[in-house]
Amino acid sequence: MASTETRRHVRVLRPSELAEAADILRGGGLLAFPTETVYGLGGDATDGVAVARIFAAKGRPSFNPLIVHVGDVAAARRIAVLDPLAEDLAARFWPGPLTLVAPLRAGHGLSGLVTGGLDTVAIRVPAAPLARALLAAVGRPVAAPSANTSGRISATRATHVVDDLGAAVDGVLDGGPCPVGLESTILAATPPRLLREGGLAAEEIEEVTGPLARDVTPGRVQAPGQLASHYAPQRLVRLGVTAAQPDAVLIGFGPVDGTLNLSGGGDLTEAAANLFDYLHAADRLAAVQAVPFIDVAPIPEIGLGRAINDRLRRAAAPRQA
């Protein structure tokens, strides 16, 4: 957690300061900004030094490629080749919490560091109005992983970013809490293959693609969101807990009530929006109460529940050295 000293050096910008936020990115700086999924740690995707600073700020191994954010599908076509199926998916789900992995287009102009030297690029058009206004003002593709230290919980509020990354960023654009609360769903476009469960339920994509091949095995892929241990709070996490225990803060769901409840009515969309925020909050509560565990109630494995359980399993997995 950042000290007060560190916090003082982070510039938190209001939505009315959008032009200054865009200037940070255009000047090669790092700006954390809100999308509908989670806060992103943004840098100019055409500027290799800015992209390198993203990796340094996150403490992320640099071979992992980043998601490139653009303002509309026309900007996406300038950097990637979208085949007819990708075009259909873009028309249906952009702007929104879907990332498409597609072949790079010649003359794309992106720093090689963004794609980790691959011949494909992960692109998305975020839906959050503030993110769209920012991308329009910047006029360049913006590389942005989730705005958290590598391996830690993603940020769904500006304060999460300030506490975690502190002075490692040049500014944090505060757009309030993220409405979706889970990272985007990642789909390889050709042939369609699900690489990461996320804020868009796979069932919705399958209405367009038919049954999807899945490639989301923890630990198999080098991508950080696919590591077995990821999204980890400081406290150890236990899953599928149905009653409060004296050694833990319980995050409830539906009828299993805890100190916090992801959704009292058992709504998975509401639970997704609360997930990372409540993991942050439970971590703080557990520290105050001096208990070693965060317990989480069972979540059904359907729709957004699959993405929620994916993040929870990684939060609960044995930690890497």
**Separation between Cα atoms, residue 166 and residue 164, nearest integer Å:** 6
**Separation between Cα atoms, residue 248 and residue 246, nearest integer Å:** 6
Query: What are the residues binding ligand TXA (CB under 6 A)?
Result: 35, 37-38, 40, 64-67, 99, 101, 115, 118, 120-122, 144-146, 183-184, 186, 195-196, 223-226
Closest distance of CB 232 from ligand TXA, Å: 14
Residue 99 touches which of ligand TXA, Mg ion, none (CB < 5 to 8 A by kind)?
ligand TXA
Of residues 118 and 208, the one with the C-beta less far from ligand TXA: 118
Residue 35 touches which of Mg ion, ligand TXA, none (CB < 5 to 8 A by kind)?
ligand TXA
Burial of residue 139 (CB within 10 Å: 0-12, 13-18, 19+) is exposed
Of residues 227 and 262, the one with the C-beta less far from ligand TXA: 227
Burial of residue 95 (CB within 10 Å: 0-12, 13-18, 19+) is buried
Return the residue matching tokens 């058992």. Answer: 266
- Alpha helix stretches (DSSP H) within 27-109: 48-58, 73-79, 84-93
Two structure tokens written together for 136: 């329009």
Of residues 113 and 241, the one with the C-beta less far from ligand TXA: 113
| Span interacting with Mg ion, options 129-137, 145-153, 274-282, 311-319, rule CB under 5 A | 145-153
CA 314, 315, 317, 321: dihedral to nearest 10 degrees? Answer: 100
Say if CB 104 and CB 79 are below 8 A apart: yes
Residue 19: CB atoms within 10 A of its CB come to 10
Of residues 19 and 63, the one with the C-beta less far from ligand TXA: 63
Residue 37 touches which of ligand TXA, Mg ion, none (CB < 5 to 8 A by kind)?
ligand TXA
Residue 290: CB atoms within 10 A of its CB come to 7
Among residues 111, 146, 209, 309, the one that binds Mg ion under rule CB under 5 A: 146
Of residues 41 and 296, the one with the C-beta less far from ligand TXA: 41
**Separation between Cα atoms, residue 180 and residue 274, nearest integer Å:** 9
Say if CB 117 and CB 64 are below 8 A apart: no
Q: Could you tell me the CA-to-CA distances from 295 to 244, 258, 272, 312 in Å, in that order?
A: 8, 9, 17, 10
φ, ψ dihedrals at 266, nearest 5°: 70, 30
Closest distance of CB 221 from ligand TXA, Å: 7
**Separation between Cα atoms, residue 89 and residue 93, nearest integer Å:** 6
Of residues 31 and 248, the one with the C-beta less far from ligand TXA: 31
Closest distance of CB 251 from ligand TXA, Å: 21
Residue 156 touches which of Mg ion, ligand TXA, none (CB < 5 to 8 A by kind)?
none
Say if CB 33 and CB 175 are below 8 A apart: yes
Closest distance of CB 145 from Mg ion, Å: 5
Residue 38 touches which of Mg ion, ligand TXA, none (CB < 5 to 8 A by kind)?
ligand TXA
Closest distance of CB 12 from ligand TXA, Å: 18
Closest distance of CB 261 from ligand TXA, Å: 24
Of residues 86 and 195, the one with the C-beta less far from ligand TXA: 195
Say if CB 251 and CB 286 are below 8 A apart: no
Closest distance of CB 250 from ligand TXA, Å: 27
Using rule CB under 5 A, residue 64 touches Mg ion: no
Closest distance of CB 43 from Mg ion, Å: 15
* Residues in contact with Mg ion by the rule CB under 5 A: 146
